[in-house]
Structure 1
Amino acid sequence: MKAILIIAHHCILPGAYKGFEEILDRLHHDLPGTRVASTSLLDLENDLRTLLREDVESVTLLPYLLLNGQHTKNDVPRVVAKLQAEFPQIPITLLPCLGDWKEFSSMVVAGVRSAQNACTCAPLSSWSHECGDRIHSERAHSSNLFSIELNLEGRNVLVVGGGRIALRKVKTLIPTGAHITVVAPQFDPEFEMLKADEPSSITLKQRPYEPLDLRCVFMVFICTDQPAVNAQVSNDARARRILVNNACDYLDGDFIVPARMDFGENIAVTVSTQGRAPSLAKKLKQKIQTEWAEDLVQIEKDFKKE
């Protein structure tokens, strides 16, 4: 299997990787059978070494950078030379930075020409406001979310944060059989009790989040009260195509977790307001538990008798 590793700058701003993700999607679609991965300049050596240890026959590196500067002339080639010596049997090809591609200048000229033509129809300020309105409406999730139940047994799940919100997430994850790693500078005392009860399911790392925490992770739950940390985790995860749940900003995440109630052995009822009204979901859950619980348990008992 051949592999492509795209190298990009690390950025914590929300939405910074939108164009980057589109390129990853195109590569996945147009190059079936090729392992497509991404990394940052900071993680290049570790991620490239991990990739070379997999069953790959060659690796092509694409620096997602415009200028042929310090990174592309020195930093990246130095890492490539080091790992090529460690894995001489696997050829590593380093492509030029994007700014040096012959097609790039034509693309820039075409983009500028298109922008100039657009300006003849509307002032720049008006065009900017229209774009802003469109982005805002896209962010509002006008379409409904897709409901799904995932099998997490044996999957690696990362929870970033050590407070009560993170604690609730971990409690809901334990019955799924997932391998849960929780990273935070400080933990709610109850985490230690959970760890004692589920030593094989939960790993606690008492330190700040690091991008390497996302290695081999299937999904991540962001549960901190620090916007900069939340943005960094979100962007790091998206660059690696990892599912994100952001407890502080549901619009930033890929999915939400509905309120769930179990009745008997086989009935599970979930309540969702599409993330728009958590307090309403809480009221609905309380109403169902108060008024429907006995009937639902009885329905299951009657079903077993049939």
Structure 2
Amino acid sequence: MPIASSTTTSSRLLALLSLLQARRDWPGGLLAERLGVSDRTVRRDVDRLRELGYPVQAVKGPDGGYRLEAGSQVPPLLFDEEQAVALTVALRIAVGTGAGIEEAAARALATVRQVLPSRLRQRVDALAIGAAGRVADPQVDTGVLLTLSAAVRAGEELRFDYRSPGRPEDAEPRPPRRVQPHHLVVRSGRWYLVGWDPDREDWRTYRADRMTPRTPNGPRFPPRAVPGGDVAVFLSAQFKGSASTDAWPCRGEVILDLPAADVAPFAGDGIVEELGAGRTRLTTGSWSWAALAASLARFDTEIELISPPQLRVAFAELSRRAARTAGIG
């Protein structure tokens, strides 16, 4: 079925470009049929696209045809409505990734938003992406991210220097580390490299802003699956202090003298249950019993402990520490 039986040259060129982007090879006759024009018109329109900078190559064969190749420069791009919305959302997120591209992403976002139809502009403006507004501190040099990403794609061992937190700048330099990089991910505005440490024979996670890659890269290595097979789950588990699963190693259940509406915004990934009469059951976790007791104490209300006994011991020790700090007893 033809896209349009009668149309202007400019809109026909956009339709032709959209078809060329949709699949690798197009027989000339099929393009003519889809556009509702003659083969001669298709040839002329292809020549116009080439003049605009699009590298459209002729494909030899029984049917003949055309292929849109990668070029040496960026020609004008064509996006459908869903692609335009997706691009705008991605650019808004990129402004807060800490990848050193914030200014360029903001300028690109302004350019795309300016040419969007009003209905699409209202649609993307209505999307609330609060996390995108948080810029990482410190940010990562774009060159470092490109180097790490290239090593991941090539499957090459990476050598790098690493700045450990709290280590004096004038301290004696340490030998470079090496890792088999498998994933480069962003979490809460910071970039992390997840890889296999062949010296420790274990998985390690490194903050990209603390890494200074060395050249050249080391030998290639075979791909290896992260524990559990999902890098996002693995990284989340690492931040929770769990060696294998995305779950807190210490979990407890309490009842707070607060309504659920006051507890839920600060419960994180905990389970909040309204009990009525301004009371709430909260099941939550942390990386240690002391940390869990301290996090529950921040609700500044009466706490009834349900389980487990280890949490009761942690509360007792926390109260003794608080008393010593206050000079009591």
TM-score by length of 1: 0.21
By percentage of residues, which structure has more helix? Answer: 1
TM-score, with length taken from structure 2: 0.20
